[in-house]
A and B are shown apart, each in its own frame.
Chain A
Amino acid sequence: SSELTQDPAVSVALGQTVRITCQGDSLRSYYTTWYQQKPGQAPILVIYGENNRPSGIPDRFSASSSGNTASLTITGAQAEDEADYYCHSRDTGGKHYVFGTGTKVTVL
């Protein structure tokens, strides 16, 4: 399968920890990338490679992976983390890309 499945929505209390998961067969072979998208804005890169953050992304964002499931964890969620998050990887054939279905994170 070339699909990446995410939970549609999760909520987290301010300052608490939330984990977003992404499932797909291709994740066994390729690293997962994570993007954050706020309303009306283009996506921005949050995590790439094994667990790398671009300059400017807070260290409360981290990633892990096991088997066909990748996870993005926000430790100590802040109000500004409220956004949609998408996972991204190659498809099982390796020649094309696929995005996850997206998870809306609400910070309470």
Chain B
Amino acid sequence: QVQLVQSGAEVRKPGASVKVSCKTSGYTFTSHDINWVRQATGQGLEWMGWMNPNTGDTGYAQKFQGRVTMTRDTSISTAYMELSSLRSEDTAVYYCARDLGYCSGGSCSNWFDPWGQGTLVTVTS
């Protein structure tokens, strides 16, 4: 079955960087975009950006432009999300998710399925 398995929890100091991995299995890695979403404790879901594993193309939410980098290693079907210049407000659970979609009758639909289990990143001095 399709699985996305993320790396373990991380603790970083303000100003540092963190790199989270998302290892995929059960499907062709290069066939679907990978998206990253984060969720601070008690808060909603926040979309961070997408990456095309085939081309390496990326698109980031404006809020994270300049601080986030999404990459991949196709040889091991793994996507990565690196966030730099960390601050306390970046403390959150970070999720990767496979992007699926179709267009019909002029309207398009995209959905994220499945999601990784999440990686807690704690930024503390």
How many residues from B make CB contacts under 8 Å with A? 25
List residues of B (70-125) whose CB comes within 8 Å of A's CBs: 95, 100, 102, 104, 107-118
List residues of A (26-81) whose CB comes within 8 Å of B's CBs: 29-31, 33, 35, 37, 42-45, 48-50, 54
> Which A residues are in CB contact (< 8 Å) with B10?
none
Q: A42-B116, A44-B115 are contacts. A31–B109 as well, Cβ < 8 Å?
A: yes
> Which A residues are in CB contact (< 8 Å) with B66?
none
Q: How far in angstroms is the closest Cβ of chain B from A3?
A: 11
> Which A residues are in CB contact (< 8 Å) with B116?
42
Q: Are A102 and B115 in contact (CB under 8 A)?
A: no
Bound-state CA distance A27–B38 (Å) is 22
Q: In this complex, what residue of A is CB-closest to B48?
A: A97
Q: Are A42 and B44 in contact (CB under 8 A)?
A: no
Q: Are B108 and A96 in contact (CB under 8 A)?
A: no
List residues of B (40-89) whose CB comes within 8 Å of A's CBs: 44-47, 50, 59, 61
Interface residues on A, range: 20 to 34
Q: In this complex, what residue of B is CB-closest to A30?
A: B108
0/1 interface trace, chain A 76-108, chain B, CB 8 Å (1 if under): 000000000010101000011111111000000
Bound-state CA distance A30–B103 (Å) is 9
B21 contacts partner chain A, Cβ-Cβ < 8 Å: no
Residues of A that sit less than 8 Å from B by CB: 29-31, 33, 35, 37, 42-45, 48-50, 54, 86, 88, 90, 95-102
